[in-house]
């Protein structure tokens, strides 16, 4: 049985002496090996610490790692949705595509080692340690360097971001530090036998705050409402507190039944016709998802398209936060694998939504125009609508839709990921000879003229971000145009924070 246990890790190795010589023999460097990631030596030399590509040099001396036996190691920790569900399936697919088999060793109840073993010679290429815990604990572990990659179902809050800076872990909001692995959403669940057809965000907050306690007050039968949420210490539970209850200044009622597993929650709801729960789009189990409704009449269903475009107000990206330091090559390959079509298929099979760019013809979006006409009035006139329709005609709407903080041109995490996907597609020539229109919109708060300027500014900000990200693309083969429509085409009611956030956007139209 030829299993080689690697003796080198990405962790700092003990001081060792190495002598690196360029292949033509012209340059020689001696020093102490600080680390080796399978690709680069990091050497403490008389010039200070240097990083040198292993490809161009030969290594001599007792400190030299065995290049063939290098085992890439990485530790993941985080939310069960990612750690228990998504990662194992993606590791398996990633390994299979590279002629490797996966050996999973269960180390503890919530911790596994996935060894990637080359089929050809039975040697270990990588060890992925995966710990299933909470988003909280994972972000803390990232700060404490107890994990390399934190898996989160919500972005770090202000305190966590500040703690990261204090711990010399840099700025977690940077694009280079985070990846959107897939998309999920907070969804409202009821039993299949429950007649409820939609609920407003305001009603939802009142229900879970214990203010509405009877289905009769929601247009249903006279029966008490049974409440189900994820545990408070889970990322999902915290997301509900921040995005469902927080905007209305409410806290969860004390008699909420709390769960630690999303499928358990959904099945508990499915068994009780008078139950309501907030679960996840990816794991409705046997319960039924009902849409959100705005007071002004908009209904928002959680669908693959509405999650991709972030039009559903409670979309929740699954995030990975990376360390400042360089990761071994195979680990970086694995993270890049998440952007592949193969990974997209696995993500979709698991019930999550991938970020594959899809197109919807405008012809299928008649209701959006109807909404525009309905909400037109003093501030949005006939001319504005005509300009909007002229621009839209003959285009398709691409799924990436960019969203902004209130009053700013700052993109959120899912939007940054969408910019990156768009840039990759441009680089691959997917839009050659065509026109991409960045159509900016605002919410309806404030002065229409200011909103129009803000929407133009946002579309320009997106254009610049896409150009900056398309480093390898030929931007002459595609036309990038910006246009702003202010508050002309609302997609959600402006009376809630979540609704306004949905409306503040830049859509991408393809002609």
Partner 1 sequence: MTLSLKAITIATLGIGGISLGALATQADGVAAERAATIALAASAPAMPMDAPRAPTLTQPAPMQLAQSNVAGGAIPQQELSPFGLPCGLSVTTTAIEGARVALDIMDPCQPFSRVVIEHSGLNLTGRTDVMGLLTMDVPAFETPAFFTVRMPDGASDSALAIISDLEDFYRVGLQWNENRALELHALEFGATYGEEGHIWHGNSGTVERAVSGAGGFVSMVGNADVDSPMMAQIYSLPRDTLNDAGNVRLSIEAPVTEDNCGQDTMARTLELEEDGSVAVIELTFTFPGCDAVGEYLVLQNLLQDLRVASN
Whole-angstrom distance, CA of residue 456 vs CA of residue 444: 15
Give the 3-state DSSP-derived string for 280-336, with helices as H, strands as E and coil as C: ECCCCCCCEEECEECCCCCEECCCHHHHHCCCCCCEEEEEEECCCCCCCHHHHHHHH
Would you say 203 or 267 has its CB closer to partner 1?
Answer: 267
Q: How far is the CB of 76 from partner 1 (least distance, A)?
A: 14
State the nearest-atom distance from the C-beta of 367 to partner 1, in Å. 24
Taking the complex as a whole, the smallest distance from the CB of residue 73 to partner 1 amounts, in Å, to: 11
Query: Is the CB of 298 or the CB of 352 nearer to partner 1?
Result: 352
| Residue nearer to partner 1 on the CB measure, 117 or 204 | 117
What length is written for the chain? Answer: 511
On whether the CB atoms of residues 484 and 456 are closer than 8 A, the answer is yes
- Minimum gap (Å) between residue 280 Cβ and partner 1: 12
Nearer to partner 1, 278 or 436 (CB): 278
CB of 132 to partner 1, least distance (A): 7
Q: Distance between CA 232 and CA 234 in Å, rounded? A: 6
Asked if 330 contacts 125 with a C-beta cutoff of 8 angstroms, the reply is yes
Least Cβ distance, residue 166 to partner 1 (angstroms): 32
Classify 185 as helix, strand or coil.
strand
Per the rule left: phi > 0, alpha: psi between -120 and 50, beta: everything else, 145 is left
Please list, in sequence order, all residues whose beta carbon lies within 8 angstroms of the beta carbon of residue 404, skipping any fewer than 6 positions away. 410, 411, 412, 415, 458, 504, 505, 506
Q: Which lies closer to partner 1 via its Cβ, residue 189 or residue 218?
A: 189
CA distance 400 to 180: 13
Q: Which of 307, 330, 345 is nearest to 90 (CA)?
A: 345
From residue 406, alpha-carbon distances to 153, 180, 306, 457 in Å are 22, 22, 21, 13
The two three-digit tokens of residue 275, written as one number = 């139950």
Dihedrals phi, psi of 450, to nearest 5 degrees: -65, -40
266 vs 452, beta carbon nearer partner 1: 266
**Residue 12 has which token pair?**
């700092």
**Pick 5 or 47: Cβ nearer partner 1:** 5
Q: Measure CA 111 to chain center.
A: 23
Q: Which is nearer to partner 1, 200 or 261 (CB)?
A: 261
Least spacing, CB of residue 505 vs partner 1, in Å: 30
- Indicate the residue among 73 and 384 with the shorter CB distance to partner 1: 73
Q: How far is CA 238 from CA 126, 231, 242, 435, in A?
A: 34, 8, 6, 41
Rounded distance between C-alpha atoms, residue 197 and residue 216, angstroms: 14
Q: Which residue has the tokens 């630690």?
A: 260
Return d(Cα 50, Cα 46) in angstroms, integer. Answer: 10
Q: Which residues lie near partner 1 (CB under 8 A)?
A: 1, 3, 5, 80, 84-85, 88-89, 92-93, 96, 101-109, 113, 115, 117, 122, 132, 261, 263, 266-267, 270-271, 283-286, 345, 349-351
Instruction: Name the residue nearer to partner 1 (CB basis): 165 or 271.
Output: 271
Sign of CA dihedral 467, 470, 472, 477: negative
How far is the C-alpha of 202 from the C-alpha of 406, rounded, in Å?
Answer: 20
- Nearer of residues 245 and 266 to partner 1, judged by Cβ: 266
Q: Could you tell me the smallest distance in angstroms from the CB atom of residue 121 to partner 1?
A: 12
Residue 103 CB, nearest approach to partner 1 (Å) = 4
Of residues 350 and 510, the one with the C-beta less far from partner 1: 350
């Amino acid at each position: 049985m030829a299993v080689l246990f690697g003796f080198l890790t990405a962790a700092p190795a003990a001081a060792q002496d190495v002598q690196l010589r360029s292949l033509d023999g012209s340059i020689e460097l001696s020093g102490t090996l600080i680390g080796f990631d399978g690709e680069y030596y990091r050497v403490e030399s008389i010039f200070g610490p240097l990083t040198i590509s292993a490809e161009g040099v030969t290594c001599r001396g007792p400190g030299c790692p065995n290049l063939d036996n290098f085992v890439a190691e990485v530790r993941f920790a985080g939310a069960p949705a990612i750690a228990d569900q998504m990662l194992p399936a993606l590791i398996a697919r990633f390994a299979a595509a590279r002629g490797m088999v996966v050996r999973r060793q269960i180390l503890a109840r919530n911790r596994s080692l996935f060894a990637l073993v080359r089929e050809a010679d039975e040697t270990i290429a990588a060890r992925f340690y995966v710990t299933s815990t909470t988003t909280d604990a994972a972000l803390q572990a990232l700060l404490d360097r107890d994990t390399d990659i934190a898996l989160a179902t919500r972005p770090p809050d202000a305190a966590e971001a500040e703690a990261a800076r204090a711990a010399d872990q840099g700025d977690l909001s940077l694009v280079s530090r985070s990846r959107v692995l897939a998309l999920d959403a907070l969804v409202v669940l009821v039993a299949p036998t429950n007649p409820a057809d939609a609920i407003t965000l305001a009603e939802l907050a009142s229900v879970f705050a214990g203010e509405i306690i009877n289905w009769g007050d929601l247009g249903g039968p006279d029966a008490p409402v049974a409440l189900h949420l994820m545990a408070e210490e889970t990322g999902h539970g915290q997301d509900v507190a921040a995005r469902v209850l927080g905007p209305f200044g409410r806290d969860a009622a004390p008699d909420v039944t709390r769960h630690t597993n999303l499928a358990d929650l959904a099945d508990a709801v499915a068994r009780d016709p008078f139950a309501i729960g907030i679960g996840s789009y990816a794991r409705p189990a046997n319960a039924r998802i009902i849409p959100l409704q705005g007071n002004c009449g908009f209904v928002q269903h959680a669908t693959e398209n509405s999650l991709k475009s972030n039009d559903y107000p409670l979309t929740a990206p699954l995030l990975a936060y990376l360390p400042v330091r360089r990761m071994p090559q195979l680990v970086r390959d694995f993270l890049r694998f998440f952007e592949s079509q193969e990974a997209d298929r696995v993500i979709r099979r698991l019930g999550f939504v991938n970020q594959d760019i899809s197109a919807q013809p405008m012809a299928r979006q008649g209701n959006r125009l109807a909404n525009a006409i309905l909400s037109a009035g003093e501030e949005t006139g006939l001319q504005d609508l005509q300009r909007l329709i002229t621009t839209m005609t003959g285009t398709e709407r691409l799924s990436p839709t960019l969203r902004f903080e209130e009053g700013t041109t700052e993109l959120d995490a899912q939007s940054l990921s969408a910019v990156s996907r768009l840039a990759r597609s441009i680089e691959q020539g997917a839009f050659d000879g065509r026109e991409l229109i960045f159509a900016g919109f605002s919410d309806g708060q404030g002065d229409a003229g200011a909103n129009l300027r803000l929407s133009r500014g946002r579309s320009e900000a997106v254009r610049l971000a896409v150009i900056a990200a398309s480093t390898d693309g030929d931007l002459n083969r595609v036309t990038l145009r910006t246009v702003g429509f202010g508050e002309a085409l609302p997609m959600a009611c402006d009376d809630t924070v979540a609704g306004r956030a949905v409306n503040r956007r830049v859509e991408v139209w393809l002609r």
